[in-house]
Amino acid sequence: MKLRIQLGLNVQEIRRSRGISQEALAHAADIDRGYVGKIENAKHAATIDVIEAIAKALDTEPMELLKPRC
Amino acid sequence: MKLRIQLGLNVQEIRRSRGISQEALAHAADIDRGYVGKIENAKHAATIDVIEAIAKALDTEPMELLKPRC
């Protein structure tokens, strides 16, 4: 469960740093907007395919999305 | 799809380097043995929760399982 929270916070942080809305990220990653919210709030267990699509949409390495939070 | 393949190869490489069988990894990660095989062969899209369980069972950081293959 901890990794879900890490993933969610990393996606949110990178998305915001890029000035991208949840809606724009969902569109770019070809996933449902509500789903982006559930991932950022650790309410849903994203698959490796969704993680890949989000990383591509955020123009970041997938590994960065699993980076431990300091 | 590329990330699935990366994940599968990384899981297999680390598992073998630890001298752990697919069965022992499945048991330690509390997932089905056949499922480990499907993840290693990129036939199945693992969730973030399964990636966390596998990383813990392999005593490695989850990020390492998404490391690009050289």
Provide the pLDDT confidence category of residue A19 given band limits of 50, 70 and 90.
Answer: very high
Q: Is residue B69 part of a domain?
A: no
The DSSP-derived string for chain A is: -HHHHHHHHHHHHHHHHTT--HHHHHHHHTS-HHHHHHHHTT-S--BHHHHHHHHHHTTS-HHHHTPPP-
- Whether residue A43 is predicted with pLDDT greater than 80 in this model: the reply is yes
Residues contacting residue B66 through CB under 8 Å, at least 6 positions apart: A51, A62, A63, A66, B3, B6, B7, B10
Q: Domain range holding A21? A: 2-64
pLDDT in tens, B21-60: 999 999 999 999 899 999 999 999 999 999 999 999 999 9
Q: Is residue A70 part of a domain?
A: no
CATH number at residue B44: 1.10.260.40
Kindly list the residues from chain B whose CB atom is less than 8 angstroms away from the CB atom of residue A3.
Answer: 48-49, 51-52, 55, 62
Calculate mean pLDDT across residues A33-52.
96
Beta carbon pairs, A and B, within 8 Å: 55
The pLDDT of residue A1 is 66
